[in-house]
Amino acid sequence: MSREITLSKAVNEALAEEMRRDERVFIIGEDVAEAGTPFKILSGLVEEFGTDRVIDTPIAEPGFMGLAVGAAMTGMRPVVDLMFGDFLFLIMDQLCNQAAKAHYMSGGKLSVPLVVRTNLGATRRSAAQHSQSLHALVAHIPGLKIAMPSSAYEAKGLLKTAIRDNNPVVIFEDKLMYQDKAFVPAEEYLLPFGKAKVLREGTDITLIATSSMRQVCEKAANMLSDDGISAEVIDPRTIVPLDEQGLLASVKKTSRAIVVDEGHQNYGITGEIASRLTEKAFYHLDAPVVRMGAMSVPVPFSPALEDLTVPSAVKVADMALRLCAGETIHAL
């Protein structure tokens, strides 16, 4: 049995289920208790689990991230609520120098089973410090796993998997998707890391879409079908680990690909994904893999500018058409 619920509700369910299952799981962050976060995602949890397991902190991201590392090292399973992905910059030392490395540096003696729940996504008119999509930064750090749910279904299944993982996991939710609904099983389920999902089968071109770009690529695929182009849409779901096999299978079939991601394109994740595909499917490609990331500018506040910085369905469809028409995209 499956019902339609919002991504926000899906996250709430995942947390509630895991907290019921395992008393070591707790939530820590700013305004997570009575307020249930500014996005109201956690509503009801403090009532069920109490303030001992849904812990409101002072505005001290490095501090509560550090506490989470220590709690995880000593047997608990913290879920850190980082209100905005932009605040990752504040917790980088505790996350990347401490949490990510402790297991390796201790030769396997210490482990840090924790989850950092945060978000990404622009076009919310929140300006440069509340709109970034910073998953590329943490994807680069050995020892961290990175999940990027693209709907309520993935959000629930990946978060439950993250909470049960014995490593530090950073999961990015698209803050513009919190109210979007998707079919989610009533029964418990988990989604494996490192397994991409083909969202729509196609034969002419592969659209690789992370998180917020899933809806963009699905729209683009619809537009393309009107033009007689059959686009395959595939969601990696996790970028660390990355399901190379899954992506390659699709690209080898279609021989063309566009990697679409909301992080800044320059030195972002599209370069890594495109490179891996090029290295391993080079002789199957009719054209270079195209990357479409967010514009490499700080996110502007003005609506007139902000919308220009993020890949849109129209732009993706247009690019796909040109690719399929054999046009050289990057002619110098």
Partner 1 sequence: MAKTKTNTEDYLRMYRQMVRIRAFEDQANQLYLSAKMPGLTHMYSGQEAIAVGICEALTVEDRITSTHRGHGHCVAKGAEFKQMFCELLGKAEGYCRGKGGSMHIADQANGNLGANAIVGGSMGIATGAALTSKRMGKDFVAVCFFGDGATAQGLWYEVMNMAALWKLPVIYVCENNGYSEYTRTDEVVAGSLTARAEAFGIEAHKIDGQDVLAVNKIANELVARARKGEGPFFIELETYRYHGHHVGDINRDYYRTKEEEAEWKNVRDPITNFGKWLESEGITSAEELVTMNDEIRADAEAAVKYALDAPYPDASEVDAHVFVGVEHGLSYLDGAVT
Ligand X SMILES: Cc1ncc(C[n+]2csc(CCOP(=O)(O)OP(=O)(O)O)c2C)c(N)n1
Judged by beta carbon, residue 185 or residue 298, the one nearer partner 1 is 298
Select which of 13, 30, 61, 232 is catalytic: 61
Interface with ligand X, residue 59, by CB under 6 A = yes
Query: What x-and-dash track marks residues 239-268 binding ligand X by CB under 6 A?
Result: ------------------------------
- What CA–CA distance (Å, rounded) separates 216 from 211? 10
* Other Cβ atoms within 10 Å of 239 Cβ, number: 24
* Other Cβ atoms within 10 Å of 280 Cβ, number: 15
Q: Are residues 196 and 209 in contact, defined by beta-carbon separation less than 8 angstroms? A: no
Interface with partner 1, residue 328, by CB under 8 A = no
Query: What x-and-dash track marks residues 131-170 binding a second copy by CB under 8 A?
Result: -----xx-xxxxx---------------------------
Contacts of partner 1 in 27-86 (CB under 8 A): 30-31, 34-35, 38, 52-53, 56-60, 62-76, 78, 86
Judged by beta carbon, residue 29 or residue 268, the one nearer ligand X is 29
Supply 215's token pair: 């809806």
Q: Are residues 310 and 122 in contact, defined by beta-carbon separation less than 8 angstroms? A: yes
Q: Active site includes 135?
A: no
β-pairing verdict for 257-264 and 290-294:
parallel
Supply 55's token pair: 């812990």
Interface with ligand X, residue 39, by CB under 6 A = no
- Using alpha carbons, select from 37, 40, 261 the residue that is nearest to residue 150: 261
- What CA–CA distance (Å, rounded) separates 309 from 262? 9
- Positions touching a second copy (CB under 8 A) are 86-90, 92-93, 95-97, 100-101, 104-105, 127-129, 136-137, 139-143, 239-240, 248, 263-264, 266-275, 278-280, 282-283, 287-291, 296-298, 300-301, 328-330, 332
The catalytic residues are 61, 130
